[in-house]
Amino acid sequence: MDATEKAGAIESAQDDRSAAIRESLRSAIIDRRLAPGTKLTESEVGALFDASRTVARAALQMLAFEGLVKMERNRGAFVSSPSPEEARQVFASRRLIEPGIAIAAAARITSGDVEHFRRHLEDETTHMNERGPAARRAEIKASGDFHLMVASISGNQILKRFMEELIARSSLVIALYGRTGVSSCGHNEHADILDALERRDGEKAAHLMLHHIDHIEADLDFRTPEGLALRDALGI
């Protein structure tokens, strides 16, 4: 391997390491283990993952691009703490996008998709019947995953990527402002949406999706919870 190939291999390995760190931090943010406003220093992140500050910085920059982390000059990186107006914009964006996704999904859904959704709803029920922070985090993740599943069968990969960002930001907003401390994506509302999708009634699914998003936003009360320390949130 010549010098150029060696340099390329090193750079590729660093990129993979940054991506892995980004995924761990992203999960901790979305699952509410890291509260909005938590400081994420390059040195601490690097130490926790046995990586250089350069690799840690790249991971934080990826999260900043998604809007999950805010980089502040001379202060460092923090888990984003969306303002009430930003929170409203997230749900306004979902109202514009998700009804169309529901209509497209209704036209493409298969019996295999429906079975997959039914199993997912069973998992949601399990999380709803459990208690404690871990169960609440699992419920939020499962609720967000339902919306991503609808997007995944819509056939529009661009909108699916938009939804991944919106669901991530929604989880952050719910973590910061959720009245109940758990996801407000009502299990029964998910089941109703699925019923409409199964009947291939796109207009009904779109209407139910709008009502559902309204319900989620109505649960916000702009109170900020306390989160875990970085090490504890990552389980390291």
Query: With the CA atoms of 79, 85, 91 and 95 taken in that order, what torsion angle do they form, in degrees rounded to the nearest 10?
Result: -150
Q: CA-CA distance, 41 to 9, in Å (whole number)?
A: 27
Question: Are 77 and 60 within 8 A, CB to CB?
Answer: yes
Model confidence pTM above 0.85: no
Question: In the numeric block, which tokens belong to residue 170?
Answer: 């929604």
pLDDT tens per residue, range 151-188: 999 999 999 999 998 998 888 887 777 765 445 456 68
pLDDT tens per residue, range 125-135: 887 777 666 66
Question: In the numeric block, which tokens belong to residue 178?
Answer: 């959720």
pLDDT computed for residue 227 by the predictor: 65
Q: CA-CA distance, 210 to 215, in Å (whole number)?
A: 9
pLDDT computed for residue 30 by the predictor: 74
